[in-house]
Amino acid sequence: MTDTRSSTLPAGGTPPPTAPASRLETADEAATRAGLEVAGRRSRWWAIPLAAVAFLVLVAVPIAAVVPSSVVADKENQRLGVEQPTPYARTPASAQPVDDRIRFGDLGDLAAQFPPDGDIFFVTVTEPPQSVLSWLLGRDDPAIQFLTEEEKFGVQTPQQRRVFALESMRSSEQVAQFVALQRVGYDVELLPGDVLIQEMVCLVPNEVGDDCDTWSPSDDVLDPGDRLIEVDGRPIGGVEDLSAALEGFGPGDVVQMRIERPEEGELDVEVELTESPTDPERTIVGFFPFDTRRVELPFELDIDTGSIGGPSAGLAFTLTLVDELTDGELTGGGDVAVTGTIELDGSVGPIGGLRQKASAVAQAGVDVFLVPAAQSDADLAAAREAGGDDLEIIPVGTLEAAIEALAGLGGDPIPPAPN
């Protein structure tokens, strides 16, 4: 037989040892293996509590997201000396371009529209109920402000609060249209609106707190949010009609009124009149009305506010309309956020939630924020902290001051208002 394998013998002739199928472990290898086995047993022992902790975390997070914050916040409030729970929080909502909400009708030869390149943003906040999780995450955030039930709703019901918010936005929209169009030279007129009760008259204030010791007698049958339809059988289309209907009546007289109340519909009530606390010669029903006047424009114009409430977008609406109806770029082609109420004389009033709005502006990537000069120093400081170092906050007191501020940022000047 012929062996086809090559020789494996070394030159010395001593055959090498044949490698065994297995061999005994050295002492070091045995120790290493033993250590690994011990570590494996230890890791398996720790895996049980770690898995339990992970499970508890997975369960606790969704629970904390739905459990009301009062479970832990009330104890924290007691430690800080706060008597009332804080189940709500005022938080940043959004910064949205006003231009997207403006709709012009057929302008014809009455006006010209100049769509701007830059946007003017109005800013909103929200006041949602808080969970344990949101309370824990937000208690150190400068843009979060926790609220009590009274701070959120005051003495109003949720329905009254909604009516007031929407009415305030409607009134703000009307005033903005009037001021803006008058500023650029159009003929506009304010017409009377419905008589809507904003708040009742306090005859004797409480000297200690903000409460009232004696309200007007009408407070027994009238509520904020009521709308007057008839007084003594006469239809009421505005405050002027109410004044005319009360002629001949004096304090203590009882008048028949028909009102419309949210969620209850029309009601007939008997209202006792009283004298004005500031003018004893004047007879009043005993409430302060909303300014529900509406503006009559030379052309069709609408601002879609949707379900957004409150008057704080007034200045933003006014500036956007001025920009749309004048040639050039009021903002210089850039984006600017604006907040503040607007009055018929062009003055800018303070608003709530300034720090939350500053945070929303910064999150939207806008670098300039016009705010009311009437805000307190504490409000402005809190807004700058919440908005961060990259947000420039500019206080303005009037529409003209806002236009000048935008010109200082590179915007085109607006011709002076006509007489």
- In this prediction, residue 64 has a pLDDT band, given cuts at 50, 70 and 90, of very low
In this prediction the pTM is 0.72
Per-residue pLDDT, 363: 96
Distance CA 339, CA 16 (A): 94
Distance CA 91, CA 297 (A): 36
Mean of pLDDT values over 206-213: 74
Per-residue pLDDT, 178: 94
Give percent of the chain with pLDDT exceeding 70: 76
Note the helical H segments in 184-302: 239-245
Bridge partner list, 369: 337, 393
Class of domain 92-131+156-191+294-408: alpha beta
Distance CA 346, CA 350 (A): 13
- In this prediction, residue 25 has a pLDDT band, given cuts at 50, 70 and 90, of low
pLDDT, the chain, mean: 82
For the ranges 30-39, 116-125, 152-161, the lowest mean pLDDT is seen at: 30-39
Distance CA 270, CA 252 (A): 12
Per-residue pLDDT, 260: 95
**Tokens matching residue 326:** 């004048």
Q: What angle do CA 411, 413, 415 make, to 5 degrees?
A: 155
Per-residue pLDDT, 148: 80
Inter-residue contact 248 to 273 (CB < 8 Å) = no
- In this prediction, residue 119 has a pLDDT band, given cuts at 50, 70 and 90, of very high
25 against 239, higher pLDDT: 239
Residue from 111, 93, 91, 89 nearest 102 by CA: 111
Bridge partner list, 120: 336
Long-range (24+ apart) CB contacts under 8 A made by 61-67 are 61/133, 64/131, 64/132, 64/133, 64/136, 65/131, 65/132, 65/133, 65/134, 66/131, 67/131, 67/132
For the four alpha carbons of 178, 179, 180 and 182, in that order, the dihedral sign comes to positive
**Tokens matching residue 184:** 């650029």
Q: What is the pLDDT of residues 127-176, one digit of tens each?
A: 888 775 566 665 678 888 888 877 777 767 777 777 777 788 888 899 99
Give percent of the chain with pLDDT exceeding 90: 48
Distance CA 120, CA 320 (A): 6
For the ranges 65-79, 292-306, 355-369, 377-391, the lowest mean pLDDT is seen at: 65-79
Distance CA 314, CA 396 (A): 13
For the ranges 111-120, 305-314, 383-392, the lowest mean pLDDT is seen at: 305-314
Distance CA 409, CA 336 (A): 10
Per-residue pLDDT, 193: 87
Tell me the DSSP string of 258-289. Answer: EEEETTTEEEEEEEE-EE-SS-TT-EE-SEEE
Distance CA 227, CA 18 (A): 109
Inter-residue contact 397 to 347 (CB < 8 Å) = yes
Inter-residue contact 178 to 299 (CB < 8 Å) = no
Domain ranges of the chain: 92-131+156-191+294-408, 195-289
- In this prediction, residue 275 has a pLDDT band, given cuts at 50, 70 and 90, of very high
Q: Is the pLDDT of residue 198 over 80?
A: yes
Q: Is the pLDDT of residue 294 over 80?
A: yes
Q: Is the pLDDT of residue 70 over 60?
A: no
For the ranges 145-159, 251-265, 267-281, the lowest mean pLDDT is seen at: 145-159
Per-residue pLDDT, 348: 97
Residue from 129, 113, 84 nearest 186 by CA: 113
Per-residue pLDDT, 130: 73
Mean of pLDDT values over 356-361: 97
**Tokens matching residue 239:** 């405050």
Per-residue pLDDT, 10: 40
Mean of pLDDT values over 271-287: 91
Task: Collect all residues with Cβ–Cβ distance below 8 Å to 27 and sequence separation of at least 6.
Answer: none
Per-residue pLDDT, 73: 52
Mean of pLDDT values over 218-232: 93
Per-residue pLDDT, 392: 97
Q: Is the pLDDT of residue 14 over 50?
A: no
Q: What is the pLDDT of residues 300-336, one digit of tens each?
A: 899 988 777 888 999 999 999 999 999 999 999 999 9
Q: Is the pLDDT of residue 248 over 60?
A: yes
For the ranges 24-28, 119-123, 319-323, 373-377, the lowest mean pLDDT is seen at: 24-28
Mean of pLDDT values over 329-353: 95
Per-residue pLDDT, 82: 47
For the four alpha carbons of 251, 257, 260 and 266, in that order, the dihedral sign comes to positive
Per-residue pLDDT, 66: 46
Phi, psi of 78, rounded to the nearest 5 degrees: -65, -40
The amino acid present at 240, given as its one-letter code, is E
**Tokens matching residue 57:** 């975390």
37 against 102, higher pLDDT: 102
Q: How far is CA 400 from the centre of its chain?
A: 26
Residue from 61, 55, 54 nearest 133 by CA: 61
Topology (CATH) of 195-289 = Pdz3 Domain (2.30.42)
